Amino acid sequence: MIGILKALGMPNWNVREIFLYNAAYLIIKGLIWGNVIGISLCIIQQQTGFITLPEESYYVAVVPIKLNFLYIFLLNIGTLTICTLLLLIPSYVITKISPVKAIRFD
């Protein structure tokens, strides 16, 4: 796809944008699923206490949970920012691909 877009004359920055938008979409989708599963497990633990600990070692019977949604929000924003910034390097490498080499099938 990259080779075809470049062969059709798309500028390098637009190819990088497509790559970064798709990557951000996948990161956000993963964050949403991770938050749904993780927060659900934390709420279940708060309500039922299904994860227990040996009291002689930990001095508590169940795993204590404290949900702070500000921390969860900041963690998600930090994760999205860091992952997107780290994907700038591969997007730069993508722009160096020659359209002829990308389109040719060996």
| pLDDT score of 65 | 92
- Characterise 79 by phi-psi region: left (phi > 0), alpha (psi -120 to 50), beta (else): alpha
pLDDT of amino acid 34 = 97
pLDDT at 95: 78
- Per-residue pLDDT at 67: 93
For residue 92, what pLDDT is reported? 83
Q: Could you read off the pLDDT tens digit of each residue along the chain, which spans 106 residues?
A: 777 888 888 888 888 888 889 999 999 999 999 999 999 999 999 999 899 989 888 889 999 999 999 999 999 999 999 999 998 888 888 778 777 777 776 6
Residue with tokens 């039922």: 48
Distance, in Å, from the CA atom of 42 to the CA atom of 13, rounded to the nearest integer, reads: 42
Secondary-structure breakdown of the chain: helix, strand, coil percentages, each rounded to the nearest 5:
75, 0, 25
> What SS3 string covers 66-104?
CCCHHHHHHHHHHHHHHHHHHCHHHHHHHHCCCHHHHHC
